[in-house]
Amino acid sequence: MQNVGTPRFYIDSGLYQQAIGAWTPEDDQKSLVQLNPSNIVQSPENPIKVPRISPIRYIAFLGHNGGQYYPTFDDDPVDGFTEVINLPESLNGVDYSGFSIGTFSDTESANDLIAGIIDEESTLGAVSIGNYYDMPISPNMNLTLSYEYDGIKNVQTKGGSTLSNASYTKPADWGNRGAWQLGEVSNLRSGRRVWNLSFHFLADSDIMPNLGVQNYEEDIHGNLVNTEDILSGSDFFSVVWNQTMGYLPFLFNPNGGGESPNNSPDQFAICRFDMKSLKYSQISYNTYNMSLKIRESW
């Protein structure tokens, strides 16, 4: 079911750091950190490291053939690990081939999040590492979900016949499996999903950064740093809009947050914002409305 409940955005820190020139991955890791799971790598030799310049609270392994996958901060196990789908906390291996996602607590003192892979025969399409954001409320009831078939072109011949050419009808396969497929159960869904969502009565603290706050603490080197900046913020703008810059892809689950998330495989998508700007409309003191258009991307 494609019901929209409390949306969750998984925002890829590696993509953001590459886009702003803060990080260049190693040559043997570049294809794995582009959020393109259709580009399968055979037996990745080295673990993927993404620098921690902002909170990191999730990891996703996409387009794999099974095996053992796990996250660590530097060389330490993560705390508060929670399986979202197909990524058990133990190192006994995932239950199914396809994809795996897990969340955990951030570690401010860490330098890197490392994606560990224990299987010489592993194949992998992408590793996504970063922070996630749950909308504080569900969208209004006037939301829409549409399925586009923009890869199909129809031509009418002189005789009146209609000829159709489909260059694509769904995301490219991830190796020998369909996108978002778990195990041997095929995902036969077609069409490009597009969500139009409106949120009313949002508190300003949920959607806007408070850059005027001065909250100094000592870092691991004894230096005083302001812990309240746009990279450490927990609001929508800081976590989602700023680190996608309005165009970078991200993982989206329209019903992945809140107390009763739906983490079945058909809920997930790789998306981009289909908007030229982010607009807040003030409706009362410290209260705003916001609309989003989210388009599945491949």
pLDDT tens digits for range 56-90 = 999 999 999 998 999 999 989 999 999 999 999 87
Which long-range CB contacts under 8 A does 227-230 form with residues at least 24 apart?
none
The span from the first CA to the last CA of the chain, in angstroms, equals 22
Query: What is the per-residue pLDDT for 225?
Result: 55
pLDDT at 47: 84
Query: How open is the CA angle 188-99-239, to the nearest 5 degrees?
Result: 110
* Comparison of pLDDT for 91 and 198, the residue scoring more: 198
What is the C-alpha radius of gyration for the chain, rounded to an integer number of angstroms?
20
CB 15 within 8 A of CB 242: no
Which residues, 6+ apart, have CB-to-CB distance to 292 below 8 Å?
Answer: 195, 196, 197, 198, 199, 273, 275
Residue 38 burial by CB count (10 A; 0-12/13-18/19+): exposed, middle or buried?
Answer: middle
Residue 229, Cβ density class (10 Å: 0-12 exposed, 13-18 middle, ≥19 buried)? middle
Specify the 3-state DSSP secondary structure of 178: coil
User: Which residues is 293 bridged to in the sheet?
Assistant: 196
> Cα-flanking dihedrals φ and ψ of residue 240, to 5°?
-100, -65
Q: What is the pLDDT of residues 154-213, one digit of tens each?
A: 888 877 888 888 777 888 999 888 999 999 877 778 899 999 999 999 999 999 998 655
54 token code pair: 């902002």
